[in-house]
Amino acid sequence: MGQSTNGILAYGYDLGGEEEWKLQGLGEYGELPDLPWHAEGEDFQEAAERRLLAQLADFTETWQPGSDGYFTREQEAKARLGVEFDTYCSGDYPMYLLATKVITVYRGSVEHIDMAELVTAPETNGWDEKLRAAVQALGITPTQEKPKWLLCSYWG
């Protein structure tokens, strides 16, 4: 098994990660602010996704053996959110993006992107509002003033 070295282009917020959170209101040592939906030691992305699904998509179901159709219902709820998390940096030290659009180019691949077409596509309407609703539901304030196109890398 080799190493993944991917390029990621995303529209949204850079939230940082354990090594350097990019949020306002951090603790004395740079730790996350008190978030009622996130327990210490819990995976940030999993907890944040659960929070968004409950708050913005009214999806609180948890998987149980015999939960026929659970993953389909979960995917439909995630699609209703209009935002997603992705990670950059590395698998050992993930940093998080909260984005409405993520384009990943895997090592050895090329993705042709027409930026003019991408930024004027009909689905771009409402991206900022979806991101605003997501950060509000999470109770976080990114240090990034507003959503932007972000180019980052992943090694893992």
Tens-place pLDDT, residues 79-122: 999 999 999 999 889 999 999 999 999 988 999 999 899 888 88
Question: What's residue 2's pLDDT?
Answer: 59
- Taking the C-alpha atoms of residue 106 and residue 125, their distance in angstroms, rounded to an integer, is 28
Both tokens assigned to 7:
């390029």
Question: What's residue 107's pLDDT?
Answer: 87
Count of domains observed in the chain: 1
Which is more confidently placed, 1 or 121? Answer: 121
Tens-place pLDDT, residues 36-84: 999 988 999 999 999 999 999 999 999 888 888 999 999 999 999 999 9
- Taking the C-alpha atoms of residue 50 and residue 46, their distance in angstroms, rounded to an integer, is 6
**Average pLDDT for 18-43:** 93
CA 121 to chain CA centroid, Å, is 21
Question: What's residue 60's pLDDT?
Answer: 95
Question: What's residue 123's pLDDT?
Answer: 81
Range of the domain at 129: 5-155
Residue pair 151/103 in contact (Cβ under 8 Å)? The answer is: no
CA distances from 10 to 7, 16, 66 (A): 10, 14, 36
